[in-house]
């Protein structure tokens, strides 16, 4: 589906509305000036279950805005990961009690950017490592250099 008209949209207000794309190389292209995907149904979700599925957001000022009262991103693939390849990529968590819940059996947060950092500035910020075998590896070159 190519939404290139200024006011093009699919408005389906049935209780169980869905769009199924079963073609081998199916995609939804939204190129309107103020385009977006509005998921406001009580139990709505975006299901990427194709073998090589992805959500590509390449607009000049793009983002994923999750403003539901109880919102979450659930990645349940066998090998799930979030890759940020932008020149100045960051993850912003600005809720009053913000945190990253890593309760998988093997947890890893990799910061490979040249100037990568983990900035925790919430009022009650902390790193809670409750895995059976907790480990923090610091491989940044500036952390390996001895003072003096």
Give the helix ranges, DSSP H, for the chain: 141-144
Q: Give me the residue spans of the domains in the chain.
A: 1-70, 81-148
- Work out the pLDDT band at 2, boundaries 50, 70, 90: very low
Residue 92 to residues 27, 58, 81, Cα–Cα distance (Å): 28, 19, 17
pLDDT of residue 45: 61
| Interval 16-57: pLDDT, tens | 556 666 666 666 665 555 555 665 666 666 665 656 656 555
* pTM for this prediction: 0.26
Query: Shortest CA distance to 53 belongs to which of 25, 93, 15, 33?
Result: 25
Give the pLDDT of residue 99.
54
What is the helix (H) or strand (E) element at residue 2, kind and residue range?
Answer: strand 2-3
97 neighbors 73 (Cβ within 8 angstroms): no
Asked if residue 140 lies in contact with residue 116, where contact means CB atoms within 8 angstroms, the answer is yes
């Amino acid at each position: 589906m190519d939404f290139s008209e200024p006011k093009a949209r699919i408005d389906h207000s049935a209780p169980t509305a869905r769009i199924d794309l079963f073609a081998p190389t199916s995609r939804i292209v939204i190129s309107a000036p103020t385009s977006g995907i509005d998921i406001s149904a009580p139990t709505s979700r975006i299901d990427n279950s194709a073998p090589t599925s992805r959500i590509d957001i390449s607009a000049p000022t793009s983002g994923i805005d999750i403003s539901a009262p109880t919102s979450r991103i659930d990645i349940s693939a066998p090998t799930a990961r979030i890759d940020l390849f932008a020149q100045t990529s960051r993850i912003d968590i600005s809720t009053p009690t913000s945190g990253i819940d890593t309760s998988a059996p093997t947890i890893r947060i990799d910061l490979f950017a040249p100037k990568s950092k983990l900035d925790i500035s919430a009022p009650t910020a902390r790193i809670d490592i409750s895995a059976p075998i907790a480990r923090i590896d610091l491989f940044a070159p500036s952390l390996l250099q001895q003072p003096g």
